[in-house]
Copies of this chain bind each other. A is one copy, B any other.
Amino acid sequence: MPVFFAAATEHAGVLLSLFLMIFAAKLMAEIFERLRQPAVVGEILAGVIIGPSLLGWVSPSEFTTIIAEIGVIFLLFTVGLETKPESILRVGKRAFLVGTLGVILPFIAGYFIAIWWEGVFVEAMFVGAALVATSVGITARVLGSLGLLDKETSKIILGAAVIDDILGLIILSTVSSLSTGGVDYFGLAKTAGLAILFTVVVGTAGARSMKLLAPRVDALRMHRPFFNIGLILCLGLSIASMYVGVAAIIGAFLAGMALAEPTEENHTMHRMTSGVTEFLVPFFLVNIGMQLDLSVFRDSTVIGLALLITFFAVITKFIGCGLGAWGMTRREMGQIGVGMIPRGEVGIVVAQIGLSLGVISKPFFASVLFMAVATTLIAPPLIKLFFSEDKDNDGVDDVIVETDISDEFTRIG
């Protein structure tokens, strides 16, 4: 029957999954907006609901994971487009301190919780590593929708996320080599050096080169040259950063930053890019929610471990990053602290690596997974709360929510 042929050849099943993901995401976003809660939380919960934990309509597959990955890549590219490199450099020292303290405290906490919970050395190191890496996508999404991406604390969070990712890479390299027998210090130094070199070189030279090349891009005969060159740069640097060892989103963020100035007045390019981002981000958020495995709660002792790890993941990141902003106002310290809480996809990836190496046991894996999703659900309301005084309280934020990022900047900046 042709219906089945069509279904088979046109991959109706995969398209149906994508449809269900975006439909559930937008339905929950609408409900959460009406309840004056962050839409991000609604979209992650949509994943919990339609995912294997509850309804089981859609399961995380290789396809949903790749689409989710492209979604968060475009999210950070869009954020980069609104971020001039100087604004990050200006807060560089502080971002470094925030990133570093925000890595050390969660790592120590994770390590000792695991040791105390009968974990062995390598396992405890892995749990520590899984607590380290911030998933800046969630925070960027919330701050973007509130129109607060150009605040100084937002810049510090973005800069600290880059530091955080590089330190996370070094820690993950170390604990991985521990598990496969002995640390290769030379290899480790090479990994770290390459990651730092890549980030610094692309971060500084990228914007300067694009500024010089802008007239040439403008002279291209292809349709929409800046949009298309942006796509190529975004995907190209994302992949390059993966091969260097840092997260793809770091490359995407650097690509966006490189184009921030040349495309500043190019509203069409920004709007077309935001179209791609708006289309793909729901898949990123729903895919996080789908990872949640509520079956851990069948074992009551694992409940305790999951809640303990989540509690310390939140508190150590909050205190560590907050302390890194010492000297700023208390509210700003709090803003930075909550902004770094979400672990999301990064924590999940670390846990999966631990599982694939066979060094992390099921209860720890389940707990880290729970922590990764739970922190993404806890953070957005806290971010909204801590940043609430920075918005006008006359209802204008409702209007801002209806505009895209580029609008928000002309509105605020």
The residues of A with any CB-CB pair to B shorter than 8 Å are 1-3, 5-7, 9-12, 14-16, 18-19, 22-23, 26, 29-30, 33-34, 39, 62-63, 65-66, 69-70, 145, 169, 172-173, 176, 187, 191, 220-224, 227-229, 231-232, 235-236, 238-239, 242-248, 268, 271-276, 278-279, 349, 352-353, 398, 401-402, 404
Chain B residue at minimal CB-CB distance from A235: B19
Question: Given A23-B232, A70-B15, A271-B275: A3 and B224 within 8 A (CB)?
Answer: no
Give 13 A-B contacts (CB < 8 Å), ordered by A residue.
A3-B243, A5-B172, A7-B243, A10-B247, A15-B70, A16-B239, A18-B70, A22-B228, A34-B221, A221-B398, A221-B401, A227-B278, A275-B276
Roughly how many angstroms separate A8 CA and B3 CA in the complex, as a whole number? 36
Query: Do the beta carbons of B220 and A30 come within 8 Å of each other?
Result: yes
Please indicate the chain B residues that have their CB under 8 angstroms from the CB of A191 in the complex: 1-3
Query: Do the beta carbons of B279 and A242 come within 8 Å of each other?
Result: no
Query: Do the beta carbons of B404 and A224 come within 8 Å of each other?
Result: yes
Count of identical protomers in the assembly: 2
Query: Do the beta carbons of A223 and B278 come within 8 Å of each other?
Result: yes
Roughly how many angstroms separate A220 CA and B223 CA in the complex, as a whole number? 34
State which of B63, B223, B272, B349 has its C-beta within 8 Å of the C-beta of A9.
Answer: B349
Chain B residue at minimal CB-CB distance from A357: B5
Query: Do the beta carbons of B242 and A12 come within 8 Å of each other?
Result: yes
> Separation in Å of the A285 CB from the closest CB of chain B?
13
State which of B19, B30, B66, B402 has its C-beta within 8 Å of the C-beta of A63.
Answer: B66
Centre residue among A2, A3, A34, A276 by max chain B CB count within 10 A: A2
Question: Given A66-B63, A279-B276: A19 and B236 within 8 A (CB)?
Answer: yes
Roughly how many angstroms separate A352 CA and B176 CA in the complex, as a whole number? 45
Roughly how many angstroms separate A193 CA and B276 CA in the complex, as a whole number? 37
Roughly how many angstroms separate A268 CA and B6 CA in the complex, as a whole number? 34
> Separation in Å of the A32 CB from the closest CB of chain B?
9
State which of B3, B9, B22, B245 has its C-beta within 8 Å of the C-beta of A231.
Answer: B22
> Separation in Å of the A194 CB from the closest CB of chain B?
9
Question: Given A224-B404, A268-B404: A11 and B62 within 8 A (CB)?
Answer: yes
